[in-house]
Amino acid sequence: TMSKSILLVGAGGHAFVITDILHTMQDSNDRPLYGKIDFLDDASELAVGKLTELEQIGRNYDEVFCCIGNNQFRKELLEKVERLEMKVPVLVHPTAYISPSAVVKAGTVVEPGAIINSNSVIEEGCIISPGAIVDHNVTIGKYCHINAGAICKAGAVIPAGTKLDAGEIAKGY
């Protein structure tokens, strides 16, 4: 398989976490999955363009991923990407565990050491930070951020747009 190109929307701190994860992702032949990684950002010298140029520039990439920590802003940008019918991947660090029965939807990143247990559903555009624990039968709504070391107990339902702080515990059943 050919390596893919990806446009990252946002070039702040979170974008570098995403970049690190992209560099760890490999195809079935242990070759890098992403050969070309560029940024779109209004305030970064690293960027190939500004956010207003998403439509024109994004078309030249296989995939687009939103690297914005703010849940509401990430939602707005992802909805725009969706309207433009661009392909949005799920990004998973190789040290994360995702149960085969769990569902993780487009635009979500699962960071190092995170756990997503059986029958849990992570909706679009979520950030599952390092060491977060999502136990079984949890539902996490769209555009949530489950911060480092937060725990979603079995059966927890996390409403869309929620930010669980680092180390916070969401009650379950």
Nearest to 60 by CA among 84, 26, 28: 84
Q: Provide the token pair at 10.
A: 């946002």
Q: What percent of the chain has pLDDT over 70?
A: 99
Token duo for residue 157: 């339902």
Three-state DSSP class for residue 143 = coil
Q: Which tens digit of pLDDT belongs to each residue from 38-61? A: 999 999 999 999 999 999 999 999
Q: Is the pLDDT of residue 92 over 70?
A: yes
Which pLDDT belongs to residue 28?
Answer: 87
* Residue carrying the six token digits 């624990």: 133
